């Protein structure tokens, strides 16, 4: 097991909560782990953190990644009954078709949808934002290495990997029916700040200090 010096690249999760009206307003933005966990718990979404395993190269194989997190993965499977686990990853490269592949991958789950299975993702590397549309609000959860997010089945949500997707995630499934999205047709994703905007916002806050929120 590669469990040495585990947490060197752990960064904080970041949550922004918006109203879901025609002109969304920001209700909350925070990188406080306890605050984020509590806010998500209130909408039945679970966020846990695992120690990040050191020594996994970007683009490591599925076998290497699952072996590195064998104990944690086994525990989740045993406790929550998942029967399938795999690794999804996307990293920028120099190929001429990268922009097209990146855009196509991003588009796939960028509109609001639901699934009839939970959506459970552990971020091994990189980042992505899950937008959870529940009770008139949108919780935008920027997931980063070490984050295990569990979104219950039938939760309306979308996912943005940004214009330059770069992430590695372990996925857990209850069955092998394939991962399909049931799209709601609600264009709400188009009026909520996207991955690039939220990442830029967070970077400017980090550079300039908090604005009182
Ligand atoms: Fe989804």
Protein residues within 5 Å, CB atom, of ion ligand 1:
109, 119
Residue 209 has a pLDDT of 61
Distance 183 CA to ligand 1 centre (A): 10
The pLDDT-based confidence of 9 (bands split at 50, 70, 90) is very low
Q: CATH number for the 14-208 domain, one of 2.40.280.10, 2.60.120.10, 3.20.20.70, 3.10.20.30?
A: 2.60.120.10
> Residue 126: which of 77, 85, 87 has the closest Cα?
87
123 contacts 167 by C-beta, under 8 angstroms: yes
pLDDT in tens, 157-188: 999 999 999 999 999 988 777 578 999 999 99
Decide if pLDDT at 11 tops 70.
no
Distance 59 CA to ligand 1 centre (A): 23
> 114 Cβ partners below 8 Å, 6+ apart?
153, 154, 155, 156, 157, 181, 182, 184
Q: What is the pTM of this model?
A: 0.91
**Where are the chain's structural domains?**
14-208
Distance 67 CA to ligand 1 centre (A): 25
Decide if pLDDT at 6 tops 80.
no
Decide if pLDDT at 189 tops 70.
yes
């Amino acid at each position: 097991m590669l469990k040495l010096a585990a947490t060197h690249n752990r960064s904080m999760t970041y949550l922004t909560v918006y109203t879901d009206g025609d002109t969304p307003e920001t209700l909350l933005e925070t990188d406080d782990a306890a605050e984020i966990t509590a806010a998500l718990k209130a909408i039945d979404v679970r966020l846990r953190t695992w120690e990040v395993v050191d020594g996994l190269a970007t683009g490591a194989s599925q076998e290497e990644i699952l072996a590195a997190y064998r104990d944690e993965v086994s525990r989740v499977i045993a406790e929550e009954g998942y029967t399938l686990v795999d690794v999804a990853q996307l990293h920028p490269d120099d190929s001429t078709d990268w922009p097209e592949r990146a855009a196509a991958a991003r588009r796939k789950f960028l509109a609001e949808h639901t699934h009839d299975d939970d959506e459970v993702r552990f971020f091994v590397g990189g980042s992505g934002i899950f937008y959870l549309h529940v009770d008139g609000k949108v919780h935008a959860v920027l997931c980063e290495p070490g984050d295990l997010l569990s979104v219950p089945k039938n939760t309306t949500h979308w996912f943005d990997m940004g214009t330059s997707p770069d992430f590695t995630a372990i996925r857990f499934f209850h069955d092998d029916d394939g991962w399909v999205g049931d799209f709601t047709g609600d264009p709400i994703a188009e009026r909520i700040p996207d991955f690039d905007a939220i990442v830029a916002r967070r970077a400017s806050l980090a550079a300039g200090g908090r604005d009182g929120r």
